[in-house]
Amino acid sequence: MRKFYGKLITFTLISAMVLGLAGCTEKEVSSSEPTVSETVVASTSETSVSTETSVSSSEIPEILPETDTSENDKEEKAESDVVASENENPLDEIKEEDDKKFYSGTLTEMDKKFYVIKEVNAKTLPGQTGEVVRTLPVGTEVHVVGKDVDTGWYCLEDGTFVSSSSTYLSTTKPKEQKQEASTSTSTGNQSGSSNSSSASTGNSSSSASTSTEAQNSTPAPTPEPIPQVCQHTSTEERVYGNTGREVGGGCGQSGTIYHTFCKNCGADLGNERTEWGAINHAEHSEVIIDDYGECGGSGTSHVHHYCGCGAINYDDAPVTSPNPHSMRTIQYYDGDGNLVETNQCAFCGWEDGSDHIVQYASGD
């Protein structure tokens, strides 16, 4: 803009100078009587010069070059995006995407069959974070193979997850409900009588009315059965498993575990109860000598029975048991110097009289 105004001022000044020179020449040629044209030219030149001078000196505003701020903002934003992208780790984004797509929790193994009693969504992950894979309609049979520890959702055999709420799943297949179309039957009867009336009279307006009523008498489609949630009103105890425990001293006891089940839907309601059976005692026995008796005679003894827990502790009747001599062979020298051998009891010294000379004294 400054260049434009500069060129404009230059052009105006040159035009004024040319007009001024032309006026001076005309004055020299005929200086006696100035004409109207000279006066007009001179006044015009002076006015033009003064006007251009005043405009150029004081009234021309300073016009600064325009700056495109939007382009600068775009460049700064592009630079900041580049710096941010350099600082970001692309592996973090991949990990976040993997966490959203793959299950990384803990499952408790199950092997149970359920039926859908209310439409439920099968998702890629348990809880609200998973994506819906499909919607299971009422009556669908599903096979549950695991249960998520954190959310309690069931894992199906195809790897998808569904809510474990009894609102959606039950062990009993929902029964279909039949609804009677009594209203449709009544409407059909009315249209039939109307048809017969119009046929007998032959009135065209009655025929049109009969046709409309016949269309209205078409039975409405039977609505889908509403799933019934079992209220577990009838229950019974069933055997849930067996268990055992130690009562002390090596003795044990076995028991039977009972749970409460619903007779209608078969749901396990818990209420665990254990019924303990007879104790399996670890019985021991030992022989106790009551009286040894005389050596070579007889004594008495009995058998004692017991267990570690103390429930068994009794004795058998005493019995007589022999107490024979504990014989041994000994040698000794008699008064004649002969080596004699005999059988003698080790406890009482009784000999059986079987003395005999093993070696005679020397010189005999």
Give the span between the Cα atoms of 355 and 340, in whole angstroms: 7
3-state secondary structure of 106: coil
Checking if the pLDDT of 266 tops 70, the result is: yes
| Among the ranges given (78-82, 191-195, 287-291), the one the predictor scored with the smallest mean pLDDT | 191-195
Last residue of a domain, one of 154, 170, 186: 170
pLDDT band at 243 (very low <50, low <70, confident <90, very high): very high
Compute the average pLDDT of residues 171-188: 55
More confident site: 346 or 341? 341
Residues paired with 286 in a beta bridge: 304
Kindly state whether residue 139 falls inside one of the protein's structural domains.
Answer: yes
Name the band, by pLDDT with cuts 50, 70 and 90, for residue 233. Answer: confident
Phi then psi dihedrals of residue 302, to 5 deg: -145, 165
Is residue 95 included in any domain, yes or no? no
Residue 234 one-letter amino acid? S
Q: Is 106 part of any domain?
A: yes
CA 253 remoteness from chain centre: 39
Last residue of some domain: 280, 312, 346?
280
Strands (E) in 100-208, as ranges, are: 107-116, 120-123, 132-136, 141-148, 154-156, 161-162, 169-170
Q: What is the pLDDT of residue 334?
A: 87
Examine the fold and report which residue of 141, 170, 199 is the final residue of a domain before the chain moves on.
170
Residues 294 and 269 in one domain: no
Query: What is the number of domains present in the chain?
Result: 5
Which structural domain range is residue 124 located in? 102-170
Residue 252 has pLDDT above 50, yes or no: yes
Q: Is residue 40 part of a domain?
A: yes
Kindly tell me if the per-residue pLDDT of 52 is higher than 70: no
Question: Of residues 229 and 262, which shows the higher confidence score?
Answer: 262
Residue 312 CA to residue 334 CA, distance in Å, equals 59
Q: Decide if 189 is inside a domain.
A: no
pLDDT in tens, 106-128: 999 999 999 999 999 999 998 88
- Exposed, middle or buried: residue 191 (CB in 10 Å: 0-12, 13-18, 19+)? buried
Structure tokens at 138: 């009422």
How far is the C-alpha of 38 from the C-alpha of 24, rounded, in Å? 9
The mean of the pLDDT values for the chain is 74
Residue 220 pLDDT more than 60? yes
